[in-house]
Structure formats: structure tokens, C-alpha cells
A and B are shown apart, each in its own frame.
Chain A
């Protein structure tokens, strides 16, 4: 099979793995192109092989699904990555694999491919390596040494939910234990994980609580969410796709917890334990704490400001610097100038003693 065709087959098999932005400690990744699905292309994302012994119900590579079996060797992966990197169409490599023989052999092949790229071809770009569930501690350590970032997918938020969709994987031993080994290694750009949202019956509350636990105990850099989308010739092919909005809301909450330091207990859910798809989680939290508002924009501190819907980290920083310079914000227009989304922030702020509870109605 020609190289181009191999890329098409193995790239298509790897595309559902979304946890691969190329952010490193030193610098943010660069987007070299954009896809019609709104994502950007920063890495050459591929599998070593699409042949897999596992029978995960949601997966495009599951063993019982008819497909052309294709595999790359280490040299092919290194050559393609280097060529694309020199054209400046990618920043690096994202390498994952189906488990063709046993976990050890698969993980070893992947590490070997990265070694060829790093040491023989002297590649200095970014490498994200997937850890195969069940791989030995030695190989996990090796992977952590050689890659910029590693990840192992938890897929679900508990052992029972994982059993529903991927019965061959042991949640605690194959995944969580490996995650703790990764934590010990302190990988350059940290480690990440991914949830398949909606393949099981888990609620958003369960996902968010489990993710918060991973941030706390496993030193996770960030979690990714992939809304379940049915694949033909799988047991879940007739299960309806999960709306992308649910995925987006989970990302909103994840952002609130990681960047804005909201606590998991503060997140507002509906009676079913899911997030409201039609309301921004930050607004829902602010409305839940109505007694704290309106805030005087010239007196509020940074931690209070970032909790206001429509005010981001930068906007809050600018307001604080204006406060330090003894410059009073007296008009709503000034807030727009420092990057505040006026429409969303208005009901929660007091400017010049005035509160605008609804648009066009100053109180």
C-alpha cells in the first residue's frame, strides 16, 4: 500500500482521539490549518496499526469490525513526520495504536518509532505519545522520558461505566494505576486524558467530579471530552449521537475549574445531574449566588471579578490595573474597552452606582 493511502487509513482511525493540542510548558502550539469541524491541525496524528484485539463498543478500530489492516513501521513514521515538519504544516507527532499482539509489544513499537525520530533523525519538535492501557512500568517510564506529553484515555468515569463500553479494560489496574506512574515521571508538558461522553449512561456531574479528582490526585494537565458519535458495524451504531453542545458545556466547566479556580461543588446541574445545555455554566453559578451581586467594578478584587460572567482573566487584570492607577471606571463603554463582554456582565456589575438589570433598563 502507498504511503498516502496508509496515512488516510491510519489517520482516519486516529482522528477520534481529540486530546492532542500541542501546548507545551514553554509555548503554545501553532495552528497550521483548520478543518471544517472547527478544529485546527497542529500534529501529524496517526496510529502505528489499526489492528486491535480489544472489542470496545464505540471504537472504529474494534476487533470485530471489518477493515483493511494497515500498519506503519518506525522509519515510515519518522520520515513522514520530518517531511511534514519541514514544510511547516505540523508542529509534531501524535502517535497512538491499536493493540495488535500484546500491550508490551505495541508500546515497545511506539517507543521505538519515537526513538528513531528523536535520536536518528534528530527531530526537535513536539511529540505526544499515547500510553497503552496495561503497559509495564518500565515502558511507561521510557515513554515519559522521550515524549513531550503522554496520555492514557480513561474513556469513562468509573469502573462500571467502562465495563459497559469496553469490558476488556480494567479501569483501576490498566488505566488509573498507569496514570499514577505517569504522575511520578513528571512529563515535560504534563499528561492528559479523554472521556467518551454519552456512550454509557454517566451524568455530567459524575464526569466533572471524577475529572476534579484526577486533577487533584493524578496531577492531570487537562481532560478532553469526545461526544459519542455512532460508528457503523459497532454494537452502538444505533445509539443516537450525543449533541456537541454537551461536550462544549463540559469544556466550559473544565475551564472554570482549571483556570478560574471554581470548585466542583459550585457547578450547577439540572435534576438529572447534567449541565443545562442552553445556559453558560458561569452564568448559572452567578445566578445561583445572586446575593453576592451587583459588584462595584471599582472596588471588587481580582477573585471576585473573574467570577462575573463576561469577565475573563485578562479583563479582570485590566480592571485591577486601572484600579491600581486610581482610574475609576465610570462608563459601560470603558468596560468594553478592557475586554469585558458587556451584555453578559451588566446584570452583575455596578458602574458609577448604577446597575443595569436587563438590557436598556438602568436601575
Chain B
């Protein structure tokens, strides 16, 4: 029995296998497909974000990493209780904005939102907010009417003074998606 060595079809070295695989052409195609998929996903479907600030504590801690589902409101409109990402910059582009506001929707279009002794009242009715930490909150504010295309958004950290907490009515076209986790 004899063994022939085929020098032209020699097995690639281990370093080549580790770096570019046995078939470099297919490796390149795989990389291109993977990069395209990741780019499209992170740009148009799941936008990676990092929380900065304390206004959504304790639900979302400072520096937490999360994702915004940009397709969440393709089939239905935002709901009360949803934590959403709101763009600072003017709407019009589908590309990802670099800075976003992260807030929870408490008031829907056409509703009035008021604060009394730290509790939220929607159209005069007390809103149950199980996601809030039990803490002292003394927010007081007269009813604010949402327009037909506006959602009232606020953070979960109600220990901050009312005037220092960024909150208010967000236009629908500024809400770019729902925070995933």
C-alpha cells in the first residue's frame, strides 16, 4: 500500500484555519452577511442604548445597557405603561439618533394628566403605578391636557423635585420605539 501526497491541495496550516478558515472565500461571504445583518438590525430594528442619568431609577439604573425595539409600534400605537425612547432631534429621518430620552408613558392622546400628593390622576382618576418604588413623592400639578397626537411621559424616579424632572407631552412622531427589557 502506498500513500501519495498531493502538494497542490495541501491542508491549510492551523493559523490560516483559525484566522480565515479552510475556505477564505466562504469566510469572507459569511463575514459580509454577518456585518450586513448586524448593521441593519442595530440601525433599524433593535437600537442599542446606554442609560445615562437617574430619572428612570429604580427600573433602569444609570449606565445600564438596553435595546429599543423600533418596530414595536408598527402594528399598534404606544400604550400606557410602556417605557419608550423619544428623540431629541427633529423627526424625519429613519436613521438612528445619537441622543434619546427614556421615559414611561402615563397619559394617552386626549387625556388630562394631573399630579396630587405625588399620585398621578388621568382624567381625574387615580392611576395605579406598580412599577414605582415606595418613596415619598409630593408632586403637585394642575391637569395638563394632551393633544390628539401627544403622549404624557415621565420618569420612574419621583423622588426628584418636580421642576428638575424632565417630563411632559411628547409628539407621537418623536417616539421611536419601545425599550425592550
A, B from the same assembly: no
